[in-house]
Structure formats: C-alpha cells, structure tokens
Amino acid sequence: MRRVRRAAGYLQVLRNKPFMLLWSGQIVSQAGDAIYAVALFWLMTQICRSPAMLGYLGMAESLPVLLFGLIAGAIVDRYERRRLMILCDLVRAAVLAAATALYFMGGLLPWHLLAAAFVLATFTRVFNPARQAVVRQVAPLEVLHTANALSSATQEALNIVGPPLAGVILAVSTAGTVFALNGLSFLVSAAFLGLLVRYPLQGVEPAKQTPFLKSIVDGLKFVATKRWLVVYTPLETLFMFLWVGPWVAGLPLFVKGVLQAGSTAFGLILGINSAGFILGSIIYGQFPGRIPKSLVVIWSGLTSGLFLIVFVLTRGLPLPALAAIFFIQGLLAGPGPVAYVSMLQAMVPSDKLGRVFSTVSVLNGLATPASFGLVAVLMDRMPVTTVWIGAGALILLIYGPMTLLNRQIINEEYETALASE
C-alpha cells in the first residue's frame, strides 16, 4: 500500500495535462540545448584559431544572467508567463535559423557565434524563471516536489545523452545541422506552450500597472524582508561557490592525476554519478512531501561536502568500487535541488516567483565564475586533493551549521504555505 501511495504522486502529475505539455516542451528544447552546447564550442575551434575566443564565448553565455537577471524576473512577474515563454522560444529559434543559414552559406564568423550565444542566453534568462513559476501554477502543492523531480531527472538525463549524441551528429553531419535541430526544438517547445495557453492557471494575474523599476525594487524588498530568504539564499550561493569550481574543474585533474586513469574512466564516472543523481531525484519524488524540505537541502549539501573529502581517500580502489562511491554521491545529492526549488515555489507568492528565482540566479551567476577563478589560482599552486579537502571541510564547517541553525524557519514557512493551499 505504501508503494502504491508513493506512486500515486507520479500518476497524479502524469495525468496533469498542463504539466505534461510544459514538461514535453522542456524535454524537446533541453535535448536541443544539450547537443547545441557541444557544437557551439566545437565550431568555434574550427573557425577561429585563438583559444581566447573560447573564453569570450563562455563570457557571452554567462554575462546575461548578471546584466539582465533582475530585469528578467520583473518581466516574468509583469506579463503572462506562457506567452512570454513562447516569445523566448520563437526568438531563439530565429537566432539559430540565422546562424544555420550563415553556416551553410559559408559566412559564419566568430563574432556571429558570440552574438548568437549572448542573445540565446539572454532570452533563456527570461524563459527559465518563467518556466519555474509556471510549474508552481500547474502543479498542486502536494505534488510539487514530484513535478520538480521529473523536471530535474529529465534535465540530468539529457545532459548525459546530449554530448555523445552531439558527437555522433558532428561526426556524420555538421555543426549547422545541430544548430538547425536546436532551432526546431524551440519551435516544438513553442507549439506545446501554445496548447498550454488554453488551460487556466493558478495564481494571481500579473500586475502591469506597477512601474518597472519599482517592480524590481519590490522584488528585492521581498527577498530582504523574509528571514528564510535572507539566510538561505546567501548560504546556497556559498555552497555553489565552494562546490562548483572544485567539482567541475577538479574532477578531470582528479581522474587523470590521482586515479591515473584516462578519458574513458572520466566519462564513466560522470555518467554513473549523473545516474545516481537521476535515481535520487526520482526516489525523492515518490515521497508525499513529509520529509522536511529544509532537511533534504541540508542533507544534499553536507553529503556533497563530505564526499569531496571521501573521494580523496579512494586512491588505489578498483574502478567498480570507485564508481559505486560516485553513484552514491549522486544518489544522495539528487533530491537537494528538487527540494530547494519546491520550497521557493511553495513559499513565494505567485506574483513574485519570477523576481525571486532571478535573484537566486544572479547570486549563483556571481558565485560560479568566482568559484572557477579561485580554483584556477589554487590548483596552480596545490594538488587537487588539497583543494577538495579544503572545500569539503568549509562546506561541513560553515554551510552545514548555518543551515541547521535556521532549519526551523524553513519548516514553519513551508507548513504555513501548505496549510493555506
């Protein structure tokens, strides 16, 4: 009976036609993005010999979250979100159509790729908080974590499948084909959203009469006046700073230098870790929301920090045992992002969701490049194992106690939101 009740949450979500339309569009567009990201950087190496252009390309994709993050949030809360998402999809499809045409005409230049990456990232900055806000409007609160678990597992699965698929397409065809496929994926996503427009959504109507600048300021004031947001948002940004750089930049060095393994082992470890992440998200989505969301978020962060230290001790282990450890880390970390997004969706009023999600994105947008920059300096002076131990220890000693001390704040706010639903 317990298994039946747990599965009922997924059945309820899968029978929710508005969510299925939203999710179906997400699957198609994110599949296109997963192969496009590989083709974009690969193509830059083919049309430009300067390695610095790859750095500029990364900057072109990263700058919009810092330049337009808060503005995007105000736009999302100001206009009808589904129509706004359709507009974003159509603009991104048009940009990719232009890039595809230039490619096949032989006129695609490096600056074209930089401009395309910047425009695509800008409209993605609007699309993402709108989608997260619409999930809250189409999924009842009691199965919100299940809907987010499906979305998280889907994105992680596509991140596994996308790069190899892009490699196959590039081997048998061209980068222009990848661009065309990604543009088509945005058109399909827009079509699903067009069907979604027919369904009424929960939540209040957007308030266009509020002056634009005041709307941005009101969103920041809301974040500043909620104690749980004041405490948790910087702490999650701190976690991103301590985790992303050491993990993403350090893992290749760890596999090559510490494990004395090659690219095959690196790919295998990444895939197994992502598989654990997916399974953790799906398993968490089966539970009826009785596990405190704050505890899940804290558990995910603490175990991630702990495993940075554990990984250092894996030297000499056979590959199957090592793979099992990386799988367990993904399994334990997977529920964390699902719970965090679900908490924000449940505790933030619908008319402010866009601005709150964008504020979080801006802070993470600051933390990520700073983390990579610091790690680049540190790893030039010390072994990756030292960096991992230091980052893991800081997560356990700073992030862990601070989140545990304020966990009750989250629990009370979430229970209040659940009771008012």
pLDDT at 318: 81
| Spatial separation of the C-alpha atoms in residues 90 and 82, rounded to whole Å | 12
pLDDT at 1: 46
* Sequence-separated (6 or more) residues with CB below 8 Å from residue 165: 34, 35
The pLDDT averaged over each successive group of 10 residues in the chain (421 residues) is: 55 84 89 82 78 74 84 89 94 95 91 92 91 87 82 83 78 87 94 92 63 83 80 83 83 78 73 88 75 78 90 80 89 88 81 86 80 79 87 88 69 55 48
Which domains are delineated in the chain?
A: 1-209 (1.20.1250.20), 210-421 (1.20.1250.20)
What's the per-residue H, E or C state across 59-109?
A: HHHHHHHHHHHHHHHHHHHHCCHHHHHHHHHHHHHHHHHHHHHHHHCCCCC
pLDDT at 288: 55
Taking the chain, what is the end-to-end CA distance rounded to the nearest angstrom?
26
pTM, entire model: 0.79
Question: E strand or H helix at 214, and its extent?
Answer: helix 212-225
| Spatial separation of the C-alpha atoms in residues 32 and 161, rounded to whole Å | 11
* Sequence-separated (6 or more) residues with CB below 8 Å from residue 326: 269, 272, 273, 276, 311
* Sequence-separated (6 or more) residues with CB below 8 Å from residue 269: 251, 255, 322, 323, 326
